Copies of this chain bind each other. A is one copy, B any other.
Amino acid sequence: MDKKDIKILQAIAEEGINSPEKIEECTDIPKSTVHYRLNQLREQGIIKNDICDMDLSELGLSITVISEVYAEFGEGYHETVGEELAEVEGVNQVYFTMGDTDFIVIANVTDRAMAESLVSDYESIDKIDRTSSRFVITRVKNESHPINDFGADTLADALIEE
């Protein structure tokens, strides 16, 4: 794993691509080299399949933190606060939920120190009252394609107009 690998992985992630040709266009690494590197990354278990799911712990992101973040109520606050949370390094998902003015934030970090600085980053955002965080021991399920969570029949019933 070196900087060339990271450039390739980030091109895949940022541009939503997975083919040697397109990765060459983004990174200027020759497609045959890209091909060679992708095979290595697959053997190492860092990328998984054709759509290039990546293994978080193989990437060094072994800790997942889920936080409830409570903010003051105020006109338009939730938009700016949400955006600021989303920009904190390591933050993966941000949900603004019903009821009180609060957010659920999921982040991936490399180590305990980064987890702590993450939470203090949350708390230093303007309008944020308090946070409550828990560490994930096991990610039992994390499906990137929600359509997979449904039987074909249920989904068809909900979707198909006939």
Contacts and interface: CB of A to CB of B under 8 A. Distances in A.
Interface of A: 1-3, 6-7, 9-10, 12-14, 16-19, 22, 48-54, 56, 59-61, 64, 66, 78, 82-83, 85-86, 89-99, 103-104, 107-108, 110, 134-152, 154-156, 158-161
A7 B153 CA distance: 11
A17 to B, nearest CB: 5
22 contacts: A3-B156, A10-B148, A10-B152, A13-B147, A14-B148, A16-B49, A16-B51, A19-B50, A51-B51, A51-B52, A59-B155, A89-B150, A92-B146, A93-B141, A93-B143, A96-B139, A97-B135, A97-B136, A97-B137, A98-B136, A98-B137, A108-B149
B144 A99 contact: no
By DSSP majority rule, is chain A's interface helix, strand, loop, or mixed? mixed
Given A56-B146, A158-B110, A96 B10 contact: no
Nearest to A98: B135
A3 B140 contact: no
Given A54-B146, A146-B59, A150-B90, A140 B97 contact: no
A2 B86 contact: no
A3 B90 CA distance: 38
Contact of A6 (B141, B145, B159): B159
Contacts of A54: 145-147
